[in-house]
Amino acid sequence: MVVGPQTGWWLLLGAGVCEVVWAAAIARTDGFTRLWPSLYCAGFIVLSLYLLSLAMRTVPMGTAYAVWVGIGAVSTVLYGILFLNEAANTPRLLCLLLIVAGVVGLKVFGSEPVN
């Protein structure tokens, strides 16, 4: 697969979305003792890592990994707030904004393509 500079960022976004899917699904595996939820979770883990590896063809490794983790962390917390009745207090939301600011900063201040 040929990965252009912008394609790498789209792949990175897809990898982050896959991370959220497996993070949300992992609780349903019951410690990986339930077959179908475990296979579903494992499939999205593999897909997430695959997309991350493709994104790293053009996005610097440190930036790609930090952005991937940031997408996963923020989106998983938001999933917990919206669907699992987790706390949505001001300090938690401010912390999420700090993560988003860091991810945006990494994109803006250091996303030269890798050769």
Is residue 54 in a domain?
yes
Question: Could you tell me if residue 91 is inside a domain?
Answer: yes
Tell me, what's the pLDDT at 6? 81
Q: For the beta carbon of residue 30, count every other beta carbon within 10 angstroms.
A: 10
Sign (positive or negative) of CA dihedral 21, 24, 26, 28 = negative
Query: What is 39-107 written as a DSSP string?
Result: HHHHHHHHHHHHHHHHHTTTS-HHHHHHHHHHHHHHHHHHHHHHHS-----HHHHHHHHHHHHHHHHHH
* Span 71-98, pLDDT tens digits: 999 999 999 999 999 999 999 999 999 9
> Is the per-residue pLDDT at 112 higher than 80?
no
Minimum mean pLDDT range among 27-36, 42-51, 106-115: 106-115
- In a domain, residue 115? The reply is no
Domain span at residue 52 reads: 5-108
Residue 52 has pLDDT above 90, yes or no: yes
Q: 36 lies in a domain?
A: yes
Q: How many domains does the chain have?
A: 1
User: Looking at residues 44-52, what average pLDDT do you find?
Assistant: 98
Residue 37 within any structural domain of the chain: yes
Is 113 inside any structural domain? no
pLDDT at 2 over 90: no
Predicted model pTM: 0.84
Mean pLDDT computed over every residue of the chain: 90
